[in-house]
Each structure stands twice: as C-alpha cells, then as structure tokens.
Homo-oligomer: A and B are copies of this chain.
C-alpha cells in the first residue's frame, strides 16, 4: 500500500477544506439568508427578516456581517431617507448554489429514509 502516506495527507487537507466550508455555513440562519438573497437577487434587511421565519434583527445583523466578511454577499447603502440597504450575492457567493442544491436533494432523501419511505 504505497499510497497510504498521500492518503493521509489528502485526508488532512480534505478535513481542513470541509472545515472551512462548514465554518462559513455555520449557525442557525446563514443558509436561509443566502437562500433568500439568492432567490430574489437583491434583498433588503427587513425583507430578509420576513423571509427567514424566526430570526431576530440581532441575529440577522450578525450573520450578514459574517457573510460579508466571507465575501459571500455585498452590502449596498442607498442614499435615501430613511436609508435603504441592499444585499446581494457576490460571484463567489453564487458558487454556493451547487452545495445548497445538493443539501436540498439529500435532505429530501434523508427524510424519506428516516420516516421510512414516506
């Protein structure tokens, strides 16, 4: 088994990469926020607040900041009175669509599996 050493290194790298990805999607709300913004292309703070059932303004604010730091969404302040703020996915953020789609498919299959082929 001369492939074993590389095998191990690859596994470390894989774990790190998965960790990076999960870190970004972590928390109770991020995927829903992304889903909301992605779905409408461009969305305001209070719109997202309505889109995501149960989220508080505090949490939304916090999560949006983290998503911005991770360059997944872009925040645009419009000079209106009172101010309007748009959020939209960056190009990088849109690359998450594949993952969200996979998670959706898997989630549907999983529910079947757990509930016994409902």
Residues of A within 8 A of B (CB): 11, 14-22, 24-25, 31-32, 35, 39, 70-71, 92, 95-96, 98-100, 102-111, 113-114
Q: How many copies of the chain does the oligomer comprise?
A: 2
Q: Is the interface of A mostly helix, strand, loop or mixed?
A: helix
In whole angstroms, what is the CA distance A19 to B106 when docked?
11
Other-chain contact of A92, B15, B95, B113 (Cβ < 8 Å): B113
Question: Can you list 19 A-B pairs, Cβ within 8 angstroms, ordered by A?
Answer: A14-B104, A15-B35, A17-B105, A17-B107, A18-B31, A18-B35, A18-B103, A18-B107, A20-B108, A21-B103, A21-B104, A21-B110, A70-B114, A71-B114, A95-B106, A95-B109, A99-B99, A99-B103, A99-B106
Q: Are A35 and B14 in contact, with the CB atoms below 8 A?
A: yes
> For residue A110, which residues in chain B have a CB less than 8 angstroms away from its CB?
20-21, 24, 70, 92
Q: Are A17 and B92 in contact, with the CB atoms below 8 A?
A: no
